[in-house]
With several copies, the nearest count.
Chain A
Amino acid sequence: MPDVSGTKRITDVGPHDYHDFLHPVIKNNYGKWKYHEILSTAHMVHVSETGDKIYSVRVGSPRLVSGSFIKDLCDLADKYSEGYLRFTTRNNVEFLLDKEDNIEPLMNDIKKLNLPLGGIGNVVANIVHTQGWIHCHTAASDASGVTKSLMDDLYEYYIDAKLPAKVRIAFACCLNMCGAVHCSDIAVLGIHRRPPKLLSDKIINLCEIPSTIASCPTNAIRPDTYNGKPSVKLIEEACVFCGNCFTVCPGMPISDPLNDGVSIWVGGKVSNARTKPSFSKLAVSYLENDPPRWPKVVEAVKTILDAYKNGAEKGERVGEWIERIGWPKFFKITGFKFTKYHIDDFRLGEATMNYSAQVRQ
């Protein structure tokens, strides 16, 4: 327990107690909620066993925001929800109101701030993304830029519920996948495609050789010596460009503007509803970085979304839809090329082959 007497530097107080941040209606009805109703893509009501109601108004955010942005939100909260608000796990903002009458004025004020109202129900949810060139050293692409380009184009899908089910898009700027890219309906992933450089002077001085060797998923890094000191060599043909060696060893930079770019993944999900959680699967193996607006990435995502919108049945997530129509048809209608890169040859890859004569002809 931290010593808070003042004689000692205070540490380990832990997160702020959330009870201080709960709207009175929420406090009183904690654990008693009975049902909810989605009133629009921007607001819903939760009704308690006690009859109490709480309205949530949802607003989109770019996540990377200025202090002024947060203060704008605080002003609105003070005006309409007694200062109470929350963020969602996908970085939307939610105002929590007990007075139905406050909803419209709040929404009007939000519109004045040019913030998007939406994100509830069968929409393209806010994109979960990462740092990119803004802040991370291993980024193969920018995060905020791709996200912004996508959301500008998918705006109508955020504010209106036009889709068969909710579509979760995620972006990660490298294979570390700080966004939940590996289990998203649609995912955009920054990738390298050229083996790391070996800066041997750095390697021998800055890198722990055994960890560097162990960091490689394909065992492409082998022990070697350089100037009489332990170093590493690279089997280039085995490198899958993951960048993990660079994470461990600054002497192996992998960024390369000519070859970096993104790949696109589809059909993952996290929820246990109906079908089990599943990984996103490779759709487009490479698209070059074309900042500032990554038009090819936007087009590819749009292609998937359009095909999904036209083809899926109500309630079907992207992956469920593809499983129903079959992957061959998915590639056919999107026009994406199926290549040998799409065949999983890693660890459990064997488990993904078609071991059946169930084939659409």
Chain B
Amino acid sequence: MGKKYETPLLDELKKGKWPSFVAEMERAAETSEMTGDLLGQVEQSYKEKMGHWKHGGMVGVKGYGSGIVGRFSDLPEKYPGVKEFHTVRINQPSGFFYKSDSLRKIVDIGEKHASSLFNFHGSTGDIQILGVKTSELETIFQQLVSFGFDLGGSGSALRTPSCCVGMARCEFANYDAMHICYNITQAFQDEMHRPIFNYKFKFKFSGCGNDCTASIARADMSIIGTWKDNIRIDQGMVKEYAKKMNLHKYVTSKCPTKCMNYSDTGLEIDDSNCSKCMHCINVMPKALRPGIKGGATILLGSKAPMVSGPRLSMVLVPFYDVAEDAKNGYQWFKDFVGKIWEFWDEYGVNRERIGELIQRVGIGNFLEAIGLEPLPEMVSSPRGNPFVLYEDYVEADEGQGESPQG
């Protein structure tokens, strides 16, 4: 369709070795006029150093409250193609695995009914089709469903859960992250598509402490693989590694709990003190493997800075036996999440994430409400200040005695 606007600034970004998003926009513009206008508007943003999108706007498909992010240009006359330029969030398959046929179908939709521009993937995990007009939403949705894809989350709802590659291609996976992610997403379709929460809620599943989904930083509930038994050691391979590197310097001395010892007799690990950090295994993957009694630690509460500062997730359940629960369709997990959502629903306020709520009401109270025992695993250390809110005191037969201070 040719170039509609001069874009000298954006053109600069076609140079260089890294693949250029500008080139991609131009490629997309070949099949979509909307994208031609997008190039024009973005060039103007580059000139003026500011964006040109209006504030928000609610759009969606029938029966869904989420999955579409409405977007409108504040220069619709100048760039009519971006007057409406919504995003359709499509729930990605577990582990971001695809076969080419499905991908082509998704691309077709985006080329025919939208801007031909995509995000593979959004930060939460969705495939995003950018540049959709309101009028095209239902068509796109129907087509997606027809070959087994559905919308992801947006707004005050469960957000699209995601997981690492896990057991599909990683020897470190301690539980089947892809399976539980799929199962849970299917089970909570309603919570994802019809926003009734106080705010967003995110799950991310990582198969081990390396946390390749960054769940501890950006999931309200982070499910991170761990194990209960001993690290499996192949002493022969350890010796091989020792030939190539200083095991003391690069392995044992970096163990956070100092529970390893390497000597002529081999590598010894005090597994009762190992905090499953993954370091030694990462460095010597041919010699060490996590134990076989795999499971996950469940952590709660991470999020971006608004309103009270950034948060990481904190330990809630030190060991969750995922494989055991899988036998029962993850019923324990679903009930557990249900209790948390109930509490959030009852005590949370509008736009309050679960991590903020817990901090506001006190962790002790939260634990009591959802029926968890306080455990030292939850803290990096116990309290250091003496302001303890002891909950009850003994009363004497006070009518009789003197008042203590007379």
A and B, direct touch (CB closer than 8 Å): yes
Interface residues of A in 77-112 (CB under 8 A from B): 77-78, 83-89, 91, 93, 96
**Cβ contacts under 8 Å, A354 to chain B:** 314-315, 377-380
How long is the Cα–Cα vector from A5 to B191 in the complex, in angstroms? 23
Measured CB to CB, the nearest residue on chain B to A193 is B390
Interface residues of A in 267-304 (CB under 8 A from B): 267-268, 270-283, 285-286, 289, 291-293
Given A17-B93, A273-B277, residue A62 in contact with residue B396 (CB < 8 A): no
How long is the Cα–Cα vector from A297 to B133 in the complex, in angstroms? 35
- Structural contact, A62 and B386, CB atoms closer than 8 A: no
B142-150, B261-269, B328-336, B338-346: which lies at the interface: B142-150
In-complex Cβ contact of A145 among B13, B149, B351, B394 (8 A): B13
In-complex Cβ contact of B100 among A67, A83, A87, A255 (8 A): A83
How long is the Cα–Cα vector from A145 to B39 in the complex, in angstroms? 13
- Structural contact, A338 and B359, CB atoms closer than 8 A: no
B372-385: contact bitstring with A at CB < 8 Å (1 yes, 0 no)?
Answer: 00111111111111
**Cβ contacts under 8 Å, A68 to chain B:** 27-28, 30-31, 116
Measured CB to CB, the nearest residue on chain B to A339 is B374
- Structural contact, A242 and B305, CB atoms closer than 8 A: yes
- Structural contact, A87 and B121, CB atoms closer than 8 A: yes
**Cβ contacts under 8 Å, B36 to chain A:** none
- Structural contact, B277 and A315, CB atoms closer than 8 A: no
**Cβ contacts under 8 Å, B337 to chain A:** none
Interface residue A163 (Cβ < 8 Å from any Cβ of B):
no
Given A70-B103, A240-B388, residue A257 in contact with residue B50 (CB < 8 A): yes
How long is the Cα–Cα vector from A228 to B273 in the complex, in angstroms? 63
**Cβ contacts under 8 Å, A344 to chain B:** 379, 382-385
- Structural contact, A253 and B145, CB atoms closer than 8 A: no
In-complex Cβ contact of A66 among B54, B91, B116, B390 (8 A): B116
Interface residue B282 (Cβ < 8 Å from any Cβ of A):
yes
Number of residues of chain A lying within 8 A (CB) of chain B? 170
Given A63-B120, A134-B42, residue A13 in contact with residue B97 (CB < 8 A): no
**Cβ contacts under 8 Å, A191 to chain B:** 386, 388
Measured CB to CB, the nearest residue on chain A to B129 is A67
**Cβ contacts under 8 Å, A250 to chain B:** 54-56
In-complex Cβ contact of B94 among A15, A61, A134, A240 (8 A): A15
- Structural contact, B27 and A177, CB atoms closer than 8 A: no
- Structural contact, B168 and A26, CB atoms closer than 8 A: yes
- Structural contact, A136 and B31, CB atoms closer than 8 A: no
**Cβ contacts under 8 Å, B110 to chain A:** 67
- Structural contact, B116 and A256, CB atoms closer than 8 A: no
How long is the Cα–Cα vector from A147 to B21 in the complex, in angstroms? 10
Measured CB to CB, the nearest residue on chain A to B17 is A155
- Structural contact, B277 and A358, CB atoms closer than 8 A: yes
Number of residues of chain B lying within 8 A (CB) of chain A? 171
How long is the Cα–Cα vector from A144 to B42 in the complex, in angstroms? 11
**Cβ contacts under 8 Å, A275 to chain B:** 256
Given A9-B63, A12-B190, residue A342 in contact with residue B13 (CB < 8 A): no
- Structural contact, B103 and A74, CB atoms closer than 8 A: yes
Interface residue B189 (Cβ < 8 Å from any Cβ of A):
yes
- Structural contact, A270 and B211, CB atoms closer than 8 A: yes
How long is the Cα–Cα vector from A314 to B319 in the complex, in angstroms? 32
- Structural contact, A217 and B379, CB atoms closer than 8 A: no
Interface residue A343 (Cβ < 8 Å from any Cβ of B):
yes
In-complex Cβ contact of B374 among A178, A216, A271, A342 (8 A): A342
Measured CB to CB, the nearest residue on chain B to A15 is B91
How long is the Cα–Cα vector from A256 to B406 in the complex, in angstroms? 11
Interface residue B221 (Cβ < 8 Å from any Cβ of A):
no
- Structural contact, B305 and A182, CB atoms closer than 8 A: yes
Interface residue B197 (Cβ < 8 Å from any Cβ of A):
no
- Structural contact, B216 and A355, CB atoms closer than 8 A: yes
Interface residue B218 (Cβ < 8 Å from any Cβ of A):
yes
In-complex Cβ contact of B102 among A16, A137, A340 (8 A): A16
Measured CB to CB, the nearest residue on chain B to A2 is B189
Given A14-B186, A34-B171, A70-B118, residue A133 in contact with residue B52 (CB < 8 A): yes
> A26 CB to closest chain B CB, in angstroms?
5
How long is the Cα–Cα vector from A14 to B148 in the complex, in angstroms? 8
Interface residue B1 (Cβ < 8 Å from any Cβ of A):
no
Interface residue B310 (Cβ < 8 Å from any Cβ of A):
yes
How long is the Cα–Cα vector from A250 to B56 in the complex, in angstroms? 8
15 contacts between A and B (CB under 8 A): A18-B97, A35-B286, A62-B19, A66-B116, A151-B18, A178-B123, A183-B310, A193-B393, A273-B209, A273-B282, A276-B256, A315-B283, A344-B383, A352-B381, A359-B315
Instruction: List 9 extra interface pairs beyond A259-B393, A352-B384, CB under 8 A.
Output: A89-B96, A132-B51, A144-B21, A191-B386, A272-B278, A273-B210, A315-B254, A331-B376, A353-B380
Closest 3 CB pairs between A and B? A152-B16, A253-B405, A340-B364
